[in-house]
Amino acid sequence: MIQIQGLRKTYRSRRRAVAAVDGVDLTVRDGEVFGVLGRSGAGKSTLLRCVNLLERPDAGTVTVDGVELASLRGGRLRRARQGIGMIHQHFALLGSRTAAGNVAFPLEVMGVPRAERAARVAELLDLVGLADHAGAYPAQLSGGQKQRVGIARALAGRPRVLLSDEATSALDPETTGSILALLRDLSQRLGLTILLITHEMEVVKRICDSAAIMRDGRIVEAGTVTDLVRRPGSELARDLFRLGPAPQLPDATVVDVTLAGDATDHSFLSVLAREHDLDVRILSGAVEELPGGRVGRLRLALRGAHAAEEAPLRRLREHGLIVEVPR
């Protein structure tokens, strides 16, 4: 488990001070994939770098598996860091070393004997599907293959936690899909806890159990993805399912309906039509299968004598749906 409390980091120059992380509390449960979303400059990278103490926070605590990192120094900090792997947007591989050589690097630093190292490197390359590319140099590998080497290297010290700094933003959509599938698979097989930062909603859709939205150094929403989607007014729900500007329809009531968990069947549409004598049209929307279950959002136009009344909306809410009237 990763527990972040009261975390602050300010960068100061002579001209100004930037509060990159401005009082963040966050809990990442064991074995989950947690995504931090946010625009450029929101403070995501700084937050991530404070988790493995690449950056020393000004205030607050970071506790990984019960060990508070900011209080550690020297050898104890180095050992604690071995339990936290990291992968990077631009892979950060050594161009002069083969795939095997890159994966071996952290093992050399840890002082793992040569024979053990060779066996472990082979095992790691196999784990990421690159057993037959051990002798290739980074320049001979595709972006996806380079990231697989990066993942194997990050797992060399058998970490319990993996940090991912925009690991797929330099990759095409198909390769992104295969890397995300690999991360999800590793999380499940190895019981890895993954904390990732991204600006891509697709990443959250594909692999995250939980997510947080960060803005101006602060967390503005956090929770499991299904809980967030069910939260009225949630930014994450709005961004996951973009419904666009609400149309002005003089003869209809427009409502946005969020479906999650058990309430993802569409029987409520016929209930509305039958019980309230409404003409129901779907204007836009989507239903998606996320790691935490099915969720969806639909924008409906309701027409009929009772369309503007509360009763149909109440009926939808009784059905377990979240109903919002777009402005």
Ligand X SMILES: Nc1ncnc2c1ncn2[C@@H]1O[C@H](COP(=O)(O)OP(=O)(O)OP(=O)(O)O)[C@@H](O)[C@H]1O
What are the residues binding ligand X (CB under 6 A)? 11, 18, 20, 38, 40-46
Q: How far apart are the first and last CA of the chain?
A: 40
Residue 199 beta carbon to ligand X: minimum distance, rounded to whole angstroms: 6
Closer residue to ligand X in complex, CB, 145/176: 176
Residue 201 beta carbon to ligand X: minimum distance, rounded to whole angstroms: 14
Closer residue to ligand X in complex, CB, 19/243: 19
Closer residue to ligand X in complex, CB, 101/217: 217
Which long-range CB contacts under 8 A does 65-68 form with residues at least 24 apart?
Answer: 65/1, 65/160, 65/161, 66/1
- Angle at the Cα of 17 from the Cα atoms of 15 and 22, rounded to 5 degrees: 170
CA–CA dist 93, 82 (Å, integer):
18
Closer residue to ligand X in complex, CB, 22/32: 22
Tokens 């002798």, located at residue: 135
Residue 20 beta carbon to ligand X: minimum distance, rounded to whole angstroms: 3
Residue 163 beta carbon to ligand X: minimum distance, rounded to whole angstroms: 12
Residue 42 beta carbon to ligand X: minimum distance, rounded to whole angstroms: 4
Q: Are strands 67-68 and 59-64 parallel, antiparallel or unpaired?
A: antiparallel
CA–CA dist 180, 164 (Å, integer):
11
Residue 16 beta carbon to ligand X: minimum distance, rounded to whole angstroms: 9
Tokens 């599907």, located at residue: 129
Q: Are strands 279-290 and 293-303 parallel, antiparallel or unpaired?
A: antiparallel
Q: Identify the H or E element spanning 226.
A: helix 225-230
Closer residue to ligand X in complex, CB, 22/209: 22
User: In this structure, are residues 233 and 71 in contact, taking their beta carbons and an 8 Å threshold?
Assistant: no
Residue 45 beta carbon to ligand X: minimum distance, rounded to whole angstroms: 3
Closer residue to ligand X in complex, CB, 38/312: 38
Q: Residue type for 137, please? A: Y
Q: For residue 6, count CB atoms less than 10 angstroms from its CB and return exposed for 0-12, middle for 13-18, buried for 19 or more.
A: exposed
